[in-house]
Amino acid sequence: MDRDQSPVATTTPTTPPSPTLLRRLINLDTTLSLHLHTLFQPVPRSLLKTLELAGDGRFFFPVAVSLLSSSSLRPILIPLLIGLLLDLLLVGVIKYIVRRPRPVYNKGMHLTVAVDHWSFPSGHSSRVVFAAAFLYLSTALIGEAVAQLRSTESRFGSDDSGKAVDFIVLIVCLWSAATSISRVLLGRHFVFDVVAGACLGVLEALFVFHFLRY
């Protein structure tokens, strides 16, 4: 027997490392988003695109600026505009840092509002949720503004103007929810993008309402 013969090396199979918590969340987000996008295909795409356009900043800013001529509404509209600019800045910075690509099944975006190719967070969601949350927090101020308009223009408003303001705020909140959901159904964003955008919008509304009003 040859004693100089080297022993045969044996290798033990290694198990691949388990995915991190972040990777598991991303995989869950991707799977859930695709499932919802596929499940709600029967929803008219024209309706979803209408919500998309209505939540675009190029629609928001002109409408808000056009209403600044009313001195009664300025205490509400000026903080609203500042908040929209703040939202634009924060979303842009976060998207640049995170750089999460949009879903691969995102189709036709270049025909509407393709400002960037990054997905996290959803700018539409943060924008519309900010507007809805700020208006909700400002319900009393809106009521006061309506009362001032009623005192200057007898044809404006009614004795039930307070209920009308509450109804309008409710409609805006429902619209913001529908717009946020439409981002996933259109394939523009993942679910977590929309959730993060909505949370950002609420934080912006709280900040603007408490610190940037005059």
Please write the tens of the pLDDT for every residue from 74-128. 888 899 999 999 999 999 999 999 999 999 887 765 544 445 788 999 999 999 9
**Which has more pLDDT, 213 or 32?**
32
Rounded Cα gap, residues 211 and 183, in angstroms: 30
| 204: nearest Cα among 59, 76, 55, 84 | 84
Rounded Cα gap, residues 187 and 197, in angstroms: 15
- Tell me, yes or no, if 189 is annotated catalytic: yes
Output the pLDDT for position 15.
66
Percent of the chain with pLDDT over 70: 82
- Ramachandran angles phi, psi of 74, nearest 5°: -60, -40
Output the pLDDT for position 35.
95
Output the pLDDT for position 91.
95
CA distances from 120 to 36, 64, 170 (A): 18, 26, 27
Question: Whole-model pTM above 0.95?
Answer: no
